[in-house]
Amino acid sequence: MTPLGGRPSPRASALLGLAGIAAACSSIRGANPELPTWVHRPSGALAVIFSRPVVAESRRVGEPWELGRPELDTQGRRVFVGSSDRGLYALRAQDGQPLWRFETLSFVQSAPLYDPTEDVVYFGSNDGALYKVRALDGELLWRFATNAEIARRPVLEGGTLYVANANDTVLALDARTGAQRWVQHQAPAQGMEIAGHSGVAVWRGAVYAAFSAGTVAAFDAVTGDERWPPVDLAAEAEAQLGEVPAYLDVDTTPVPDAAPSGPVVYVAAYVGGVHALDADGGNPVWANPAVAGATGLTLYTEPAHTGRDGAPREPTRLLLVASGTSGLWALDPETGAEIWRRPVPAGGLTAPVPWQGALLVSSSTLGLFLVSPREGAVIDGLHTGDGVSMVPAVHGRRAFVTTNGGRLLSLYVAPPR
């Protein structure tokens, strides 16, 4: 499949090549009005501050895309980002100048985690290991082998590091030493599945994770014991479809929400739609089976405020769903009802990132787009030629992301009206 949704892959095989990548282009330009209709002429809201290569082409390891997400040290003005050339890079945020590079045994397509209290970086690699390195110079502090690739960002909570790998395993490690505190493993799906895996969400003393067999589970953050029995979303999809779905995966990281009606966790199955589960017991709250091919979830909130025209604006709450097959969706978090949906060009989408009152979305075949959360209209865009499969990282009016061609972009946004 594409890294953001689309083609299936067998569990035993390596990640397959990205299909349909646009022809390479050395320039970065405004969105092309001749592209599909959802791509509008640019408003001038987006600008490129710098573009710097961060992937050594001679060291690429069979990866035609760059995944994960940059991590920002806003105080030290550093950017940490993984690469398909097996490395984790640290760069200066001002100009993209490399500071150091740490090499692993395989490509690094996970999002790093920076901890300012120790000035360290945690990250996973497709070599199956979780690493802790010193942020100052990249010196290795410890390495923990999990025996399956790690493609999701770890979570640090109360001195414990939580991480999931592609073998349906969730681990809790002592963040200081790397010693294992507990482990939970679920039986993997049989047959075909979609490449990728869920990350973990840690909230209110529980660790939420989803698995390739279509189940969602909650574990006690301290002991690892089950908080509630695994919920089988594949069984719900079978009841809706009248047959066992071809792909059982729940590869999206669960999203917790202190909703007005009570605490819930949102999850999405590749076939079977988006679900809200009671965070305390796992009971179903609502389901929207129409959302097909979901690969990313984002909870968007905007407080009540006065608009620039002086009119009052009500609070906004949206559950945003990215899908390479059915488009970009906005759902009502209370009911799961569709608020708006925008079909997209061929290729995958990343989960939208809230940025200065808008949403920044990466497209694996086109580039980057700034989208209105109110109706999904495109505000501005950058067509990179080789596409962008990485989730952007934002801070203030700056954003950072690596293109599939291996160039780190630093972007600036003029807040859109």
Confidence of residue 241 (pLDDT cuts 50, 70, 90): low
Rounded to whole angstroms, how far apart are CA atoms 174 and 13? Answer: 32
Task: Give mean pLDDT, residues 5-18.
Answer: 30
175 pLDDT higher than 70: yes
For residue 195, what pLDDT is reported? 52
The pLDDT score that the predictor gives to residue 357 is 87
Residue 318: predicted pLDDT: 97
Q: In 3-state terms, the chain is what percent helix, strand and coil (to 5)? A: 5, 45, 50
Tell me which residue of 155, 173, 166 sits closest to 112, measured CA to CA: 155
What is the rounded CA–CA span in Å between residue 393 and residue 373?
18
- Model pLDDT for residues 132-161, shown as the tens digit of each residue: 999 999 999 999 999 999 999 999 999 999
pLDDT at 10 over 50: no
Query: At residue 267, does pLDDT exceed 80?
Result: yes
Pick from 40, 176, 42, 192: nearest CA to 120: 176
Type of residue at 351: A
- Predicted confidence (pLDDT) at residue 414 exceeds the cutoff of 80: yes
Q: How confident is the model at residue 93 (pLDDT cuts 50, 70, 90)?
A: very high
Which helix H or strand E contains 234, and what residues bound it?
A: helix 233-241
Contact (CB, 8 A) for 147 and 154: no
At residue 236, φ and ψ (nearest 5 deg) are -65, -40
How far is the C-alpha of 277 from the C-alpha of 271, rounded, in Å?
17
Instruction: Report the chain's mean pLDDT, rounded to a whole number.
Output: 84
Q: What is the pLDDT of residue 194?
A: 52
Is 146 buried (19+), middle (13-18) or exposed (0-12) by CB count in 10 A?
Answer: buried
How far are the Cα atoms of 73, 134, 288, 291, 321 from residue 324, in angstroms, in the given order? 31, 37, 17, 11, 10
- What single letter denotes the amino acid at residue 155? V
pTM score of the predicted model: 0.86
> Could you tell me where the beta strands, DSSP code E, fall in 233-377?
255-259, 262-269, 273-278, 284-288, 294-302, 305-306, 312-313, 316-323, 327-331, 338-342, 353-355, 358-362, 367-371
> Which residues, in sequence order, are bridge partners of residue 298?
320
pLDDT given for residue 5 in this prediction: 37
Please indicate whether residue 414 or residue 230 has the higher confidence score (pLDDT). Answer: 230
Q: Could you tell me if residue 160 is left (phi over 0), alpha (psi between -120 and 50 degrees) or otherwise beta?
A: beta
Which residues are within 8 A (CB) of 370 and not within 5 positions of it... i.e. 6 or more apart? Answer: 43, 45, 46, 355, 358, 359, 360, 361, 378, 379, 380, 381, 413, 416
Tell me the per-residue pLDDT of 316-365, one tens digit each, with 9 for 90 and over.
899 999 998 889 999 999 999 999 999 876 678 899 999 988 999 999 98
* Residue scoring higher pLDDT (66 or 344): 66
For residue 45, the model assigns a pLDDT of 86
pLDDT band at 416 (very low <50, low <70, confident <90, very high): low
- End-to-end CA, the chain: 37
Beta strands 226-232 and 169-174, pairing class: unpaired
How many CA within 13 A on the CB side of residue 400? 28
What's 104's DSSP letter? -
pLDDT band at 239 (very low <50, low <70, confident <90, very high): low
The answer to whether the beta carbons of residues 159 and 176 sit under 8 Å apart is yes
Q: Is 248 a residue whose pLDDT tops 70?
A: no
Average of per-residue pLDDT across 253-274: 92
Question: What Å distances lie between residue 365 and 3, 16, 49, 246, CA to CA?
Answer: 11, 16, 22, 26
Query: 190 versus 293: which is more confidently predicted?
Result: 293
CA–CA separation, 417 vs 404, rounded Å? 30
Task: Tell me the mean pLDDT in the region 395-414.
Answer: 94
Residue 166 contacts residue 148 (beta carbons within 8 Å): yes
Q: What is the pairing mode between strands 9-10 and 192-193?
A: antiparallel
| Neighbouring residues of 271: CB distance < 8 A, sequence distance ≥ 6 | 237, 241, 245, 246, 247, 248, 292, 293
Residue 7, SS3 per DSSP: coil
Provide CB contacts within 8 A for 114, sequence distance 6+: 71, 72, 73, 80, 120, 121, 135
* pLDDT above 90: percentage of residues in the chain: 61
Residue 207 vs residue 61, higher pLDDT? 207
- pLDDT for the residue numbered 189: 62
Residue 134 confidence (pLDDT)? 98
Q: What structural domains does the chain harbor?
A: 9-413 (2.130.10.10)
Q: What percent of the chain has pLDDT over 70?
A: 81
